[in-house]
């Protein structure tokens, strides 16, 4: 007696097509059209800045989009017109330090808030969330008065120093970075930490050997957002800095304010300086792009 076995094969293309049909929210033509529209909305201002940076000031003032003449010297003149080199160095030092400190402190604070139970834990979590709703303009005068009083009491310079701007940025960036890490660490499996404790690992060893390697995407996201918060700030930096500690954003703001005269502004140099200041942020995103995708999903470990 013979038994016939029938093997049914499933076409992978048919399975893939059915799955994509189920998961796709929009029809393919509409999805392509929306992606093209979004790309045009983003590329429009950037391309205008790029073309205006290599165009003459008179042509930009007339409203020309495409350069009528190529002026690459705008990228050379801007270094002597604006104190851009000092501003970029100050911004990189201050914002880089804020990003590193925020990432290191936020991951440890978030791990304690998520994994341990103690009095005031919920209050701290609510406070971290509530601090994000306070406008920065309301904090400008208290921060300035606090540093001025500290300078008069301790007889040390505070206003105009790098460390005063660093502490100011850290005050506003650390709560947000901690909340990002709280959201991310909640998605990490507890079983790995429990297994490490059963093997005799201490809390510090669990944090450094288990939590940190799994939390790199969230750490990168919190560090980049802390970096951007200081890099894009003009309000606090314009009050807390002087000529030596001035950041790149303040240098651009001062340069733009000096162009508000009856003559034709230096549009080419303004656009060139703006693109130069955007380069570090673009490079930062390109380098850590793969970590950003996992960190923004808040729990990439399954």
pLDDT at 93: 94
CB 66 within 8 A of CB 51: yes
pLDDT at 94: 94
pTM across the whole model: 0.80
User: Hey, what are 215's tokens?
Assistant: 């939390």
pLDDT at 96: 93
Confidence bin at 299 (pLDDT 50/70/90): very low
pLDDT greater at residue 8 or residue 287: 287
pLDDT at 169: 92
User: What does the pLDDT look like over 23-52, one tens digit per residue?
Assistant: 567 788 888 888 889 888 888 888 888 998
User: What does the pLDDT look like over 76-99, one tens digit per residue?
Assistant: 888 888 888 899 999 999 999 999
Residue 177 reports pLDDT greater than 50 = yes
Give the total residue count for the chain: 302
Residue 230 reports pLDDT greater than 70 = yes
């Amino acid at each position: 007696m013979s038994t016939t076995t029938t093997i049914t094969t499933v076409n992978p293309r048919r399975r893939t097509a059915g799955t994509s049909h189920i998961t796709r929210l929009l029809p393919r033509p509409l999805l392509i059209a929306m992606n093209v529209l979004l790309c045009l909305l983003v590329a429009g201002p950037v391309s205008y800045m790029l073309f205006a940076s290599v165009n003459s000031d008179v042509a930009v003032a007339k409203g020309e989009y495409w350069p009528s003449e190529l002026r690459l010297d705008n990228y050379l003149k801007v270094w002597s017109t604006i104190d851009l080199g000092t501003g970029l160095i100050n911004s990189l030092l201050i914002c880089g330090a804020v990003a590193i400190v925020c990432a290191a402190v936020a991951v440890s604070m978030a791990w304690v808030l998520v994994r341990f139970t103690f009095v005031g834990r919920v209050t701290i979590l609510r406070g971290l969330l509530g601090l994000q709703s306070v406008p920065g303009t309301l904090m400008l005068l208290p921060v300035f008065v606090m540093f001025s009083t500290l300078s008069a009491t301790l007889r040390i310079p505070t206003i105009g120093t790098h460390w005063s701007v660093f502490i100011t940025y850290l005050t506003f960036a650390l709560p947000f970075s901690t909340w990002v890490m709280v959201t991310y660490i909640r998605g990490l499996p507890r079983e790995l930490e429990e297994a490490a404790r059963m093997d005799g690992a201490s809390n510090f060893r669990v944090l450094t050997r288990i939590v940190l390697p799994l939390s790199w995407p969230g750490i990168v996201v919190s560090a980049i957002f802390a970096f951007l918060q200081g890099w894009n700030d003009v309000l606090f930096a314009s009050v807390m800095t002087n000529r030596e500690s001035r950041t790149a954003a303040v240098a651009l703001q001062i340069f733009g304010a000096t162009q508000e005269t009856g003559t034709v502004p230096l549009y080419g140099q303004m656009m060139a300086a703006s693109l130069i200041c955007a380069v570090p942020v673009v490079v930062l995103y390109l380098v850590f792009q793969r970590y950003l995708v996992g960190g923004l999903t808040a729990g990439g470990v399954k």
